[in-house]
Amino acid sequence: MRPAIIYNQPTLKHIIIIFFLTFMAYLNSFNGGFVFDDTYDVVENPFIRDFKYFGDTSLVKDVVINRNTDAPLKYSFKARQVVHFTFALNYKIHGLNVAGYHAVNFYIHVFNALLVYWIVLLLFETPLFVNSHDGNTRYGLSKDSIAFSVALLYAVHPVQTEAVSFISQRFTSLAAFFYFLSVVSYMKWRLSGNSSKRYAYCFVAIAAAMLAVKTKENTFTLPLSLTLIEIIFFSPFVQRKYNKTILHLLPFYFIVSVIPINTMGSKLFLFDFGGAINIGNPYEISALHYLYTQFYAVVVYLRLLIFPVNQNADYYQPVFTTILNYKVLGSLLLLILLLLFAIYLCFVKTRKTEDRFYYRVAAFGILWFFITMLVESSFIVLNDMIVEHRIYLPSFGFFLTVVFIFAIMKSRYPYMLTDNKYAILLIVTALLLTALTYNRNKVWRDSKAFYEDIIKKSPLNYRAQGGLATYHMNNGMYDKAYEAFQNVIRYDFKNFGAHNNLSLLYLQTRQFDKALIECRLLLRYYGTNSDVFNRYGNYFFLQKRFDEAAKQYRKALSLDPNNARARENLYATLNILAKQGSH
């Protein structure tokens, strides 16, 4: 007798279970605070407070935000307007009530899981399945139970928390939503024949692709994924329909060309023909060294998918500068073996069995994983070496492969892996992952929990040390803030943020002698930074030495005329001097 939970009246029951377990996994995330990048993506983001910027993006260039985040935020707004628009809607409805933002992220994630469910079901309607399905699969898993398994694992796995519980990473989850929606619509379009709905599916697929490319740049791989679907499941090369297949795919290749065009319009995207392509890469890491590091990063992602323990929101991963490092070389060999295994499943194994559909899908999952990681884990240099939200979209391929391997095992050895055993295995795994996800979400409770968890796992991560110090300083815990800033300086003596914030801390606590030491250190190492002279001006201002303060503010503005804080401080200082002169 087959267990009712995965076989009887499947679709509605499956949707209810997916929603319920996902809700339980993320129940404690709805009151999580704004942390890390949320500060400038949401809390201090001027573009989500007025819809006029979406109607006329030229207005963006005139907005002065913060010297350290000005360019990245303006680039992000222009390249990823769809997400910023959803933030603007959130702000219009909820203000800065964090629960509203988390609710939107949660429902995006649930819809993504349901789209994954739908994609898997559509795979069973493709010509590959219809032409290769035979009686041997009657002992295996039903298509509904396979779709349910993949979607459920995708929904409750703790590695997804960064893309869901981290408000700013709506960029990732919403991009995946449009990506999956485009794939679903494309497959429906290809399977609809001469149906009257054919052109509606085509329109939705293209519209979703257009929204995807204006959500996040990793969607550049969408045409490659669609091409893979055509090759594996629709077999255009066997059917000799090359031209027709190209016409199906051509609009999607045209759409994704918007991404490099948009990005090249930004100062953050630079072609360095010496070997690097940089997107917001202040450390000038070479593309080759970044690629070496990404070999290892991808293996870390695979380990997290298999054993989701010791997750970290900010991995302190050094750059590998040689391929001969044992971690790099070992990772590269493992990835090559995975690709060879996919080729074996797709082309060799299918010649030895009539049940080729299951092997092809397992291969498709591996290839999907690699294709969807091409933008963020290849030679395109990004600031962070390892970031968990980068596997949100690729993880679908991992879960697809795992479930189909189990389906193959169940088909080949039906008495070893019975229906009841599989159902129990799935339920226990899902409940365990749900519990791990719930526990992981505690990290996103507030900045203190967030940074303390990072420091616990990466003590040398001075970015987290600085973040924790800033949290303590903003909450009046000056002793703890001082200790954390000193930890940063111990690891990185010339760290600008630590010295800059220490000078602010000393000024706030009226320790002027110590503030002067920090200001002089900043001038020694960062004498061309406008903010340094602004801080030095604050030192004189608080001691009522207004002439000297005005002099420093003018120096700040000479270095950066757009430094809004220095301009405001100079204006206030000149007003005081004018009043003193009138007396």
Q: Is 277 helix (H, G, I), strand (E, B) or coil?
A: strand
Distance between CA atoms of residues 293 and 322, nearest Å: 9
Encoding tokens for residue 310?
């010791």
Residue 101 has what pLDDT? 93
Higher pLDDT, 231 or 193: 231
Q: Compute the CA torsion angle 550, 552, 553, 556 (nearest 10 deg).
A: 160
Rounded CA-CA distance 401/254 in Å is 30
C-alpha to C-alpha distance for 192 and 170, rounded to whole angstroms: 32
Distance of CA 355 to the CA centre of its chain: 37
Other Cβ atoms closer than 10 A to 139: 15
- The span from the CA of 118 to the CA of 124, in Å, is 10
Q: Pick left, alpha or beta for residue 235 (phi over 0 → left; psi -120 to 50 → alpha; otherwise beta).
A: left
- Reported as a single tens digit per residue, the pLDDT across 126-152 is 888 877 654 444 556 788 899 999 999
553 band by pLDDT with thresholds 50, 70 and 90 = confident
Q: How far is CA 254 from the centre of its chain?
A: 24
Residues contacting residue 428 through CB under 8 Å, at least 6 positions apart: none
3-class secondary structure, 424: helix
Write the CB contacts of 183 (distance below 8 Å, at least 6 apart in sequence): 115, 119, 222, 225, 226, 229
Distance CA 507, CA 514 (A): 9
Task: For residues 167 and 278, give the distance between their C-alpha atoms in angstroms, rounded to a whole number.
Answer: 25
Query: How would you list the strands of the sheet with 269-272, edge to edge?
Result: 269-272, 276-279, 380-381
Which stretches within 192-323 are classed as H helix?
198-213, 222-229, 236-239, 242-256, 258-264, 287-306
Q: Which two tokens stand for residue 348?
A: 């060799």
Other Cβ atoms less than 10 A from the Cβ of 85: the count is: 18
The Cα–Cα gap between 290 and 319 comes to 7
d(CA 183, CA 230): 11
Identify the bridge partners of residue 543 per DSSP, sorted by sequence position. Answer: none
User: pLDDT digit string (tens) for 109-122?
Assistant: 999 999 999 999 99
Cβ neighbors of 546 (< 8 A, separation 6 or more) are: 540, 573, 576, 577, 580
**pLDDT band of 237, cuts 50, 70, 90:** very low
CATH architecture of 447-582: Alpha Horseshoe (1.25)
Average pLDDT of span 364-374: 96
Separation of alpha carbons 390 and 550, rounded Å: 47
pLDDT at 65 (0 to 100): 61
**Averaged over 408-429, what is the pLDDT?**
84
Domain boundaries, the chain: 4-34+96-444, 447-582
Six-digit token string for 22:
């996902």
DSSP letter at 504?
H
Distance between CA 353 and CA 341 in Å, rounded?
16
Cβ distance 287 to 277 under 8 Å? Answer: yes
Instruction: Take residue 79 and report the two structure tokens written for it.
Output: 């390249």
Residue 314, Ramachandran bin (φ over 0: left; ψ between -120 and 50: alpha; else beta):
beta
CA angle 465, 466, 471 (to 5 degrees): 100
**Could you give the CA distance from residue 374 to residue 385 in angstroms, rounded to a whole number?**
14
Q: Alpha helix locations (H) across 26-97?
A: 38, 52-55, 70-79, 81-94
Closest residue by Cα to residue 124 from 109, 111, 141: 141
Residues 6 or more apart from 267 whose CB is under 8 A from it? Answer: 71, 75
Instruction: Please give the structure tokens belonging to residue 251.
Output: 């609009």
**With a threshold of 0.85, does the pTM exceed it?**
yes
Least confident of 208-217, 388-397, 418-427: 418-427
Degrees to nearest 5, angle at CA 136 with 135 and 137: 90
pLDDT tens digits, 239-269: 555 557 777 888 888 888 776 565 544 433 3
pLDDT for residue 243: 59
Query: Residue 352: what pLDDT?
Result: 58
Query: Mean per-residue pLDDT for 458-471?
Result: 81
Q: CA 361, CA 367: separation in Å to the nearest integer? A: 10
Q: What is the pLDDT of residue 265?
A: 47
> Rounded to an integer, what distance in angstroms lies between the CA atom of residue 148 and that of residue 154?
10
Of 304, 310, 314, 282, nearest to 447 (Cα)?
314
Supply the pLDDT for residue 174.
Answer: 96
Which pLDDT value is given to residue 260?
59
The amino acid occupying position 357 is F
